[in-house]
Every structure is written in structure tokens, then in C-alpha cells.
Chain A
Amino acid sequence: MMMTIPANSRVLVVLPHPDDECYSLSGTLAKHIAGGGQVTYACLTLGEMGRNMGTPPFTNRVDLPRIREGELKKSVDAIGIQDLRMMGFHDKTIEFEDRKVLDGAILDLMTELKPSAVFTFYPGYSVHPDHDATGAAVVRAMGRLPESERPPLYTMAFSRNCTDEIGFPDTENDVGDFLQNKLDSIHAHRSQFPSPGELGKSKKLDRELRERFSRERFWTIREFPNA
């Protein structure tokens, strides 16, 4: 099914780390914004426990959060996101965070913003414990909204063989017109990723980038246990 989000509406993105937005979601967000939409990106942590310091090291454990905050803002600008919320949680601790505090912060965003769609990770199938815990918290928070006020919840998953258990993504978005935003978002996170290449260098590379990045796919979550 092709993704449909009402034009001019606001969507809410809840992800734990700077850079979680770039590979699988940035095109969808840029497309929504180009159509007149608003995006709030709640980034739970600053990825301050990341290990990539560069070779030779260009940063350290103490400065890394500042570096990654800068990268996050650059990525947000590349996508056109209007509202970035840095939520102040600590990298690697989302699964251990006081649930009242965590779920409450996410629920507050939902009641404040009344988003037309929410994006996060698919809990249990997103490899990093922070990804799974963030997705689980969003599902719990959604469950506390009255059913009539629950927007569609689109999720990303990438654990090995996840399709064996949760099937294939049910929603697809063609973001071919927004590859530049997406590449700029990826390049913004210089400390984390090597460059996948730039558009306009060669026809072959352009074709490869287009094949790799033109489609973003999501699993819609419809069950909210204990809601």
C-alpha cells in the first residue's frame, strides 16, 4: 500500500539516537514537508555512548554528545524538519528508564501535537535495545490514547529474518524526488557513517543510489496490548 499522510498535517517522529532518522525515514519526512506538512522529531538521546571517534580520533567521550547534537541539527536542516525536540534521555538506558517518565514524555507530545501519523521502531525487531525500548514506549503511550484519537503508527524494523515473524512492510513511500535531502541527512552524521556517495558524480552511482534509497518501507502497528 502506498503511504498517505494528510497534506499540511503534523507528524511526530520518536527515535532514540541522532542518525536513526537518516537511512529509512528522511525521504518520507522531506516529502511530507515539501507538500506543506509539519514534522516534530523527538530524539530521545544524543547518542553519547557511540563508539566511533574517527581515525585518528577527532572527538572523545566527553565531547561526543556536542558533536552528535551538531550533526543532528544539520540532518534536521537537510530534511527541513521544523521542530526538533532533544528529550534529554541517556543513550543505552531507554529500556531501564522509569516508564512513568518515558511514556509520560511521549504521551505529552502526542496530546500537545495531535499528530496525523507517528513514526518509530518496531519493538522487538530493531536490533539495538534503545530502538526496541523506544518503539515499545510509543506503543504503550499510543495505547493510552482513546482509540478514536490514535493516529496511524508506522514503524521501521531491520533485525535479521524479521520478515519471517512480522511479514513484509505493508506501507511503501516513493521518495525518489527527495534523494538529495536523504543523502544530505546521511552525510550530516559524519562521525557515524562513511558516505554512500553523492548524486551527479556518475550515471552509474546515481542509478545505484536511486535503487538503494528511493523507496522507504514501513510496518503499520495496529495492536495496542493492554490499551
Chain B
Amino acid sequence: MAMQLIDPAIIQQRIHDLQDQDLYIHLEMTTGAYASHLDSTKHPAATFISNALIRYTTGSISEKAPHFRVGLKTEHGWVYSEGLTHYEESDSERLILAGHDTQGKLVVALQLSKEPF
């Protein structure tokens, strides 16, 4: 297992391969639990939703490195994520995307799978 820097052409293909089917999504964003402890001007916030079922009809990734955006259009709405930097290259079944800051800490994650995480 190794997270690689995102190659948008590869991710675009994987997004395309997963469209029009029921998928489990894990979507997460966090400033880290210590954000305001380390810097009182920072607002600590975190949120995630795990193993919700979704199905999207159109999806794509932005093209410009190093911070990528992904948008997935569902029947009734959208999934959106910004700041993605890495993907899991060895996982061909699931799409595992994450954004890490300059210290390597996870800030944002977007994961899709046919089976629950």
C-alpha cells in the first residue's frame, strides 16, 4: 500500500469506471483536533460521513496540480471535495483519495467502494 501523488488522467478513468452503480462513500474533512490548541485564531472543525450509499451519473476531477477537486453528480445533488493530493495506487477496486498538508497530515478524504469500508 502506498499513496501516490494524484495523476488526474488515472483518477478520471477510475471515476468513470465507478459511475452509475451503488457505492459506499467515506467523505471527511478535518482541521485536526488540536487546531485551536496550537493556534487560538484557528477554528477547530471536523466532519465525516462513513459508508453512506450513493450513485453518481457524472463525475470528474480538476486538472491542475497539486490540489485537486472532485465533483460527483448524483440523482438529487452533488458530492464535492477540494484539496485532494494523493491516491492509493495499489487499490484497483476502490477509489481512495486524500489531501495531506505539508506536514503529511490528512486534511480531506474522499473514498468510494462497492463494499462497505
Contacts and interface: CB of A to CB of B under 8 A. Distances in A.
A82 interface: no
B80 A95 contact: no
Contacts of A164: none
Interface residues of B, number: 13
Contacts of A96: 58-60, 69-73, 78, 80
A92 B69 CA distance: 10
Contacts of B77: 90
A97 B62 contact: no
A151 to B, nearest CB: 29
Range of interface residues on chain A? under 10
A96 B58 CA distance: 8
B71 A95 contact: yes
B80 A93 contact: yes
Interface in B47-97: 57-60, 62, 69-73, 77-78, 80
Interface in A131-173: none
A129 B73 CA distance: 16
A98 B73 contact: yes
A129 B71 CA distance: 12
Given A97-B73, A129-B69, A92 B62 contact: no
A118 B70 CA distance: 29
Contacts of B80: 92-93, 96
Given A96-B58, A98-B58, 12 more contacts: A92-B78, A92-B80, A93-B71, A93-B73, A93-B78, A93-B80, A96-B70, A96-B73, A96-B80, A97-B73, A98-B57, A129-B62
Interface of A: 90, 92-93, 95-98, 129
5 residue pairs, one from A and one from B, having the closest CB atoms? A96-B71, A98-B58, A96-B60, A93-B78, A93-B71
25 contacts: A90-B78, A92-B71, A92-B78, A92-B80, A93-B71, A93-B73, A93-B80, A95-B60, A95-B62, A95-B69, A95-B71, A96-B58, A96-B60, A96-B69, A96-B70, A96-B71, A96-B72, A96-B73, A96-B80, A97-B58, A97-B73, A98-B58, A98-B73, A129-B62, A129-B69
